[in-house]
Amino acid sequence: MRPDPEIIDSYLNGALSDNEKKEVELKITADQTFAKDFAMVLLSKKAAKEEADKIRKIQFDEIKAELELSINKPGKIIKFQFSKWALTAAASIALIMGLILFNIQKPNHELLTDNYINEKLTLLPVLMGTETDSLQMGIQLYNKKAYNEAGIIFEKIATKIPKALEYQGLTALQLEKFDDALVSFQKLAQNEMYKSRAQLLQALTLIKKGDKTHYFEILKAINKKDLSLEEREFIEDMGIRN
């Protein structure tokens, strides 16, 4: 992957494909460090451009002085042309900066969800001999990305072990069997001990499924006191503060 400064420079120069542009714009919304770097590159280019503009203005003034010697009052025309160009450039910069600030403040729920799943749900915690051998085996298969095999094991013990029911849903989520995942998480939500966790997983699944109608209400309804610090931070990153 190319380094960030090169990617940013290519983006500002219009040298990226449509897909690459989208990746940059998504990264601006999710990575504050990258967004700040983007803004710094933009501002440095603006400063360099302003310096070039000063030199260009001196050249324009010299041309203007020469024309004034031979043509009656040409300065008005030159001044109008230069002002129009300067205003256009300033408007473009303001538009870009506004877009960056808007994107930084507006969370991208799809990207945040993908990041959370990849970072927090790709590996299951290994249990320390307190659960059945079948659950342990299912966890090992899941962590090896053998999702079909893991799902079979979790399904067999899901009615007896709530964690197996959760992992059955996660396995379906990894396989993009979103309806099956929702069924597991809805059953898990009936257990008060796992309700908040199950609601969070339901919301993640709905986002991955592309159902943007209900997930936000589910996230707002979660009792965050029952969640871990990481889970609460994720909900806040999604723009829910209550």
* Whether the Cβ atoms of residue 154 and residue 171 lie closer than 8 Å to each other: yes
Query: How high is the pLDDT of residue 146?
Result: 97
Q: How many Cα atoms are found within 13 Å in the side-chain-facing hemisphere of 55?
A: 5
Tens of pLDDT, residues 43-95: 777 777 777 777 777 776 777 666 666 555 544 444 444 455 455 555 555 55
Query: How high is the pLDDT of residue 82?
Result: 45
| Cα three-residue angle 125-230-167, rounded to 5 degrees | 35
Rounded distance, CA 240 to CA 216, Å? Answer: 9
- Determine the straight-line distance between the first and last CA of the chain, rounded to whole angstroms: 38
Burial class (CB in 10 A: 0-12, 13-18, 19+), 129: exposed
Torsional sign, CA 41, 44, 50, 51: negative
For residue 134, give every residue at least 6 positions away whose Cβ sits within 8 Å of its Cβ, in sequence order, or none.
153, 156, 157
Q: Which amino acid is at 178?
A: F
Please give the residue that has the higher pLDDT: either 7 or 150.
150
Rounded distance, CA 193 to CA 145, Å? Answer: 27
Please give the residue that has the higher pLDDT: either 48 or 7.
7
Tens of pLDDT, residues 18-42: 788 888 888 787 777 877 777 777 7
Burial class (CB in 10 A: 0-12, 13-18, 19+), 145: exposed
Other CB atoms within 10 A of residue 228 CB: 13
Rounded distance, CA 30 to CA 24, Å? Answer: 10
Q: Which amino acid is at 10?
A: S
Q: How far is CA 110 from CA 12, 113, 215, 237, in A?
A: 24, 5, 12, 12
Task: Classify 21 in phi/psi space as left (phi over 0), alpha (psi -120 to 50) or beta.
Answer: alpha
State the DSSP H helix or E strand holding residue 183, giving kind and residue range, or none if neither.
helix 178-188
Rounded distance, CA 61 to CA 55, Å? Answer: 10
pTM over 0.85: no
